[in-house]
Amino acid sequence: MLIVQKFGGSSVADKERIMNVAEIIAKTHNEGKKVVVILSAQGDTTDELLQKAAEISENPSEREVDMLLATGEQQSVALMAIALNSMGLPAVSLNAQQIGISTSSTHGNARVLNICGERIPAELEEGKIVLVTGFQGINEYGDITTLGRGGSDASAVAMAAALGAELCEIYTDVDGVYTADPRIVKNAGKLDQISYDEMLEMATLGAKVLHNRSVEMAKTHNVNMCVRSSITKAEGTRVVNSGDIERHAVVGVAGDLDVCLVAVREAKNETGSLYKLFSVLAGHGINVDIITQFKGDSFSEITFTVSKKDAEKTLKALNENKNHLAIETIKTDGSMAKVSAVGVGMASNPGVAAKMFEAIYECDSEIFLITTTEIKISVLVNAGDYVKVMNAVHEKFELGRTNQITK
């Protein structure tokens, strides 16, 4: 049985944390499993290296930044090999060049294309624990690339897919995926299982335990993932195919306070106005989240949300194109919060939306915008009602620790 284990930077930040992780790896190895370990750079190493580059140049070449940053993971894998060796275990560290991870050529945000090397299977065959640098690859020119945020998770999933691993364990400093953020909803419970699609929605909506790219990749290659804590070592949350888990209407409630509502009223109901409006926003690099449209007889109103940091830029872009877009009025409101219920079973469970609206009505909060997908219902409420609404919805779907759905 082959397991891929990934440990983040805080898990290998110092000697004590390294030895702690070495024990987790050793335990897995001693159970007779083949183990491939993906490591991130130690603690703040990546930030320190970026700082060094920034001191020299405000705008350093991305190729050279990747060359610089890649050293962080290489240090981690070498130190971990030394730690495992000191426990009498056979281990070998390998960097991206040695294992042959090929990626696209975009420095700083490359995508894994292929893992073609023979080295890992050969080392595993010899009984060795293989330690691999996360976050990095090699492009077609032989240059080192890095995979961007969440890159080590992506390395781990790509590795698990390429090697046909039975399980890809992502160790982090939380002990799994929760039904809601425990800082907001005190009664939030840890999920034993969650589907890829639910995880994708939860991640997007603020439960940032896993980065979406790794979940998408796991879904595509059908890799069984597990999120667990390197500190408590408790059983974590398995992220699996939705076909493999019991269907529940709602698995979790996610929230987001980084929301600015924009309402644009157009003078006339012109064909192609939606296209023109969002082309302008895209041209300014503004990401839009929820979009709704109301069409009246004499005017139409388009309402959408953007990240708060983009609010000013959005206003400016729209004002500059007011005539071109035939805009009558623009209103923005940054005092909003998004609350979403997520669950693959939602589509086959009628009444989920009604139940959610009921919860919000009962706690005396107003809904400003609604958007739904097959596995998610999101509403915009006043930011001041955020905690109240999160808890009310969480309770309405009986997601609390005492009612945990996947038990």
Which residues are at the interface with a second copy (CB under 8 A)? 15, 18-19, 49, 52-53, 55-61, 63-65, 67-68, 70-72, 74-75, 77-79, 81-83, 85-86, 92-93, 95, 97-98, 119, 142-144
Token output for 138: 């090699």
CB of 67 to a second copy, least distance (A): 4
- In 3D, which of 90, 4, 108 has the Cα closest to residue 50? 108
Strands 2-7 and 167-172: parallel
By C-beta, is 81 or 390 nearer to a second copy? Answer: 81
CB of 20 to a second copy, least distance (A): 12
CB of 61 to a second copy, least distance (A): 5
User: Is 338 strand, coil or helix?
Assistant: strand
By C-beta, is 59 or 298 nearer to a second copy? Answer: 59
By C-beta, is 109 or 349 nearer to a second copy? Answer: 109
Q: Please, is 262 exposed, middle or buried when counting C-beta atoms within 10 Å of its C-beta (0-12, 13-18, 19+)?
A: buried
Cα-based distances in Å from 71 to 4, 239, 402? 22, 31, 46
CB of 96 to a second copy, least distance (A): 9
Q: What angle do CA 82, 88, 93 make, to 5 degrees?
A: 35
CB of 59 to a second copy, least distance (A): 8
Token output for 374: 């097959």
CB of 374 to a second copy, least distance (A): 46
CB of 98 to a second copy, least distance (A): 6
- In 3D, which of 227, 233, 224 has the Cα closest to residue 28? 233
CB of 94 to a second copy, least distance (A): 9
How far out from the chain centre does Cα 245 lie? 21
By C-beta, is 61 or 293 nearer to a second copy? Answer: 61
By C-beta, is 78 or 347 nearer to a second copy? Answer: 78
By C-beta, is 110 or 317 nearer to a second copy? Answer: 110
By C-beta, is 58 or 125 nearer to a second copy? Answer: 58
The answer to whether 177 and 215 have CB atoms below 8 angstroms apart is no
CB of 161 to a second copy, least distance (A): 23
By C-beta, is 92 or 168 nearer to a second copy? Answer: 92
Sheet holding 136-138, edge to edge: 112-115, 101-103, 136-138, 144-146
Token output for 212: 């979406």
The answer to whether 340 and 377 have CB atoms below 8 angstroms apart is yes
CB of 242 to a second copy, least distance (A): 41
- In 3D, which of 46, 52, 54, 97 has the Cα closest to residue 72? 46
Give me the DSSP letters along 15-44. Answer: HHHHHHHHHHHHHHHHTT-EEEEEE---TT
By C-beta, is 94 or 327 nearer to a second copy? Answer: 94
Give me the DSSP letters along 118-138. Answer: SHHHHHHHTT-EEEEE-SEEE
Cα-based distances in Å from 301 to 130, 281, 288, 328, 337? 57, 16, 16, 10, 21
Q: What angle do CA 73, 76, 77 make, to 5 degrees?
A: 90
CB of 97 to a second copy, least distance (A): 4
By C-beta, is 120 or 174 nearer to a second copy? Answer: 120
Token output for 285: 């690099």
By C-beta, is 1 or 122 nearer to a second copy? Answer: 122
